[in-house]
Structure 1
Amino acid sequence: MLITIAATIFVLGLLVLVHELGHFITAKLAGMRVDEFAIGFGPKLCSFKRGETVYSIRVVPLGGFNDIAGMNPEENDAGERGYCERPVGHRMVVILAGVFMNFLLPIFLFFGIFFFSGVSTPNPEPILGTVLADKPAYEAGLKDGDRVLSINGEAIATWTEFTEAVQASEEGRPLYLTVQRGGEELQVSVAPTYDASSKRNVVGVMSALEHKDVGFVDSVTMAVQKTGYLMYMMVDALYRLLLELSGKDLAGPIGVAQMAGEVAQMGIVPLLNFTAFLSINLGLVNLFPIPALDGGHFITLCIEAVRGKPLSPKALYYMQSVGVGLLILLMLFATANDIMRVFVGG
């Protein structure tokens, strides 16, 4: 429980800090007055004031905010330094800066992982890297490091040949493996089971990994490529989710906390990978053209740029109300999913 709480605070705190820092820095550079920079919501845990800005940490670590003067034109007391008085282009930059930082953070995290920890790639040889507990291979007595020599008398020279033989087998029908362990050969019988998630027969093993160090330039290149690939995969997943109108895979705060705790127990590198993944997810969701999200704010600024004047306060109020309502419904749905997964087992 302590690991889960600490991991959740670390992950969400870092994501919120980076996101709000993007808004904060660009608002300052655009000449806006920022009255408060806050991490979290609710009552203040601690705060201090430097210059004209109060910096605070609040009780509920599920978000944060920048109190920029003039966000509400009717309450602007900052004159030309108010948000509403700055050029529309400046305001667009401020609104999108949080999302930009959420896309920039994974590049830094992946760079650090690659540069300091190196990279691991699958070993092409038929060597068992990890034998998963309570799976057919484990129950048959196979162990990490075993080399598969043959299956049902057919020689196996590569990991691809091994996986193809398993996938082509019949569920529940034993495969007769010859494996090399140390200096001796062993005969093992293992019956594959069907895995519904991957839609194939499996025996519960993972390939061995080869580790290599990576230089500075390669680390940067690989970090950018991995971030871009994950962005593409997430956009595709979101598109399919909207196309199918299915939210069964949505996770709320409870689900994120559970995953953070599980990943944290695997080590700091998996936790940083999870943080990078979540940061990209947060950035993409914030781009949704929903009022109350950064994407929604950006759309209203685009309308203002085309019209030559901002929308009326009444129109903005109704749009924000609809946006908040949609976000509340989405959060309730995601939380219901969390409860079913964590407490009911659905």
Structure 2
Amino acid sequence: MLTILAAIVLFGVLITVHELGHFLAAKGTGMQVTEFSIGFGPKVFQKQAGETLYSLRLVPLGGYNRITGMEPGEAVTPRGFNGRPMWARMLVILAGPCMNFLLPFLIFFGVFAVKGLALPVDEPVVGSLMEGYPGAEAGLQVGDRLVSINGQPLERWNEINSLVQENGPADSRLVIQRQGKQQALTLKPRYDGESKRFLIGVRPRIEHRSLSVGESLKTAALSVIRITGAMVDGLRMMATGKVSAEIAGPIGVAHMAGDVAAQGAVPYLEFMAFLSLNLAVLNLVPIPALDGGQFLVLVVEALLGHALAPRAKEIIQMIGVACIIALTVFATMHDLLQ
């Protein structure tokens, strides 16, 4: 039940925020929006307000704005999408992903302002151990100070990783200080294929620092920039074949949502922020039917000085939809096999 509720809230919030961006931009630029819908399938709730029908549908895995003049072949009208200036159309297309960037910023700001920032302490003192890894198996304990590795003295936490990588798979001789007394331990680092480095399974101590409003805003912005950069770099490496593609469909995301929700509100909100950034980045990929693809079409039309033929737009859209359906089916099958 927790997994179902966590997934419904997650998808509902992300989709609502994304579609709200398109909706507000369309309304703000004078476009006619005839329907604002969250979900797809049979209508659960609907309300007419002015020229717009607001509806909630049964399956919370989609959503849309019905903007006049947006479908290929529709008549050009003064308040239709196809009748507004190019800058307005571009703004409407980009507003959805922009809202998916804004949501994580607000989430991170709230978390940092309330909970502060957890920072690793840069001294060679064991804060926690990874179960089943060489450090725990060799007898290391929380609070132990690592004095040296293979005769090399330690003063900072980052020096531990450098010396472990330098030693590779060979046995490492550790001198530790525990309750004022020194003792020697020997362990064999384990190679981790995912991170592509040797690990002994120790983590630093963590200290929590309160942040002012200004510091929270700055840290939230830097977090969004850092995570977005990592996602873009990951897509680049997948596209060039440097790393294998790891895809999760709706089922996989729902299971992850349930797992993080069980850990508490903060991990769940942070997962929502991460997924929102992922949605924003993927939506900007120039694939037809995604926002990035639609924006690319507008750029081409701006360069040509006229709109593409309706039939050409239909073909482009059909290709994009086919790609998205194929990717969704592949990801869902992967989830089921997992």
Tell me if both proteins adopt one fold, taking TM over 0.5 as the criterion. Answer: yes
1:69 alignment partner AA: T
Partner of 2:253: 256
**Preserved CA contact (<8 Å) 1:248 1:337:** no
Q: In 1, distance between residues paired with 2:100 and 2:85? A: 24
Partner of 2:308: 311
Change (3 A) 1:137 1:246: closer
Query: Please, which of 129, 133, 137 is the counterpart of residue 127 of structure 2?
Result: 129
Change (3 A) 1:264 1:139: farther
Q: In 2, distance between residues paired with 1:109 and 1:272? A: 7
Change (3 A) 1:153 1:312: closer
Q: In 1, distance between residues paired with 2:151 and 2:221? A: 45
Cα distance, 1:247 vs structure 2: 5.2
Q: In 2, distance between residues paired with 1:169 and 1:204? A: 15
Cα RMSD of the aligned pairs, angstroms, is 2.5
Unaligned runs of 5+ in 1: none
Cα distance, 1:120 vs structure 2: 1.5
Cα distance, 1:163 vs structure 2: 2.9
Comparing 210-219 and 168-177, the one that deviates more: 168-177
Q: In 1, distance between residues paired with 2:87 and 2:174? A: 68
Partner of 2:272: 275
Change (3 A) 1:173 1:320: same
Partner of 2:217: 220
Partner of 1:160: 158
SS of the residue corresponding to residue 24 of structure 1 reads helix
**Preserved CA contact (<8 Å) 2:2 2:261:** yes
Identity %: 45
Cα distance, 1:228 vs structure 2: 1.6
Q: Deviations over 1:262-293 (max 9, x none)?
A: 33233322222222222222112111222211
**Preserved CA contact (<8 Å) 1:131 1:137:** yes
Comparing 142-151 and 14-23, the one that deviates more: 142-151
Partner of 1:328: 325
Query: Please, which of 86, 98, 107 is the counterpart of residue 88 of structure 1?
Result: 86
1:93 alignment partner AA: L
Partner of 1:144: 142
Q: In 2, distance between residues paired with 1:175 and 1:135? A: 16
Partner of 2:5: 6
Cα distance, 1:15 vs structure 2: 1.4
Partner of 2:171: 173
SS of the residue corresponding to residue 220 of structure 2 reads helix
SS of the residue corresponding to residue 87 of structure 2 reads helix
Q: For this pair of structures, how many residues does the alignment match?
A: 338
Please identify runs of 4+ aligned residues in structure 1 that moved more than 4 A.
73-76, 150-155, 183-189
Change (3 A) 1:223 1:69: same
Q: In 1, distance between residues paired with 2:225 and 2:78? A: 39
Cα distance, 1:23 vs structure 2: 0.5
Q: Deviations over 1:74-103 (max 9, x none)?
A: 555x95322222223212111111011112
1:238 alignment partner AA: L
Query: Please, which of 100, 103, 108 is the counterpart of residue 102 of structure 1?
Result: 100
Q: Deviations over 1:92-144 (max 9, x none)?
A: 11111101111222221221122111111111111222212232333344333
SS of the residue corresponding to residue 241 of structure 1 reads helix
SS of the residue corresponding to residue 240 of structure 2 reads helix
Q: Deviations over 1:288-330 (max 9, x none)?
A: 2222111121222223333333222211111111111111222
Answering whether residue 57 of structure 2 is matched by residue 58 of structure 1, we say yes
1:143 alignment partner AA: Q
**Preserved CA contact (<8 Å) 1:31 1:81:** yes
Answering whether residue 36 of structure 2 is matched by residue 37 of structure 1, we say yes
**Preserved CA contact (<8 Å) 1:126 1:147:** yes
Unaligned runs of 5+ in 2: none
1:197 alignment partner AA: E
Partner of 1:296: 293
Q: In 2, distance between residues paired with 1:8 and 1:198? A: 29
**TM-score normalised by L of structure 2:** 0.89
Q: After TM superposition, list the pairs within 5 Å mapping 1:105-116 onto structure 2.
A: 105-116=103-114
Cα distance, 1:155 vs structure 2: 4.4
**Preserved CA contact (<8 Å) 1:179 1:188:** no
Answering whether residue 15 of structure 2 is matched by residue 16 of structure 1, we say yes
Comparing 225-234 and 17-26, the one that deviates more: 225-234
**Preserved CA contact (<8 Å) 1:118 1:213:** yes
**Preserved CA contact (<8 Å) 2:107 2:273:** yes
Q: In 1, distance between residues paired with 2:6 and 2:48? A: 28
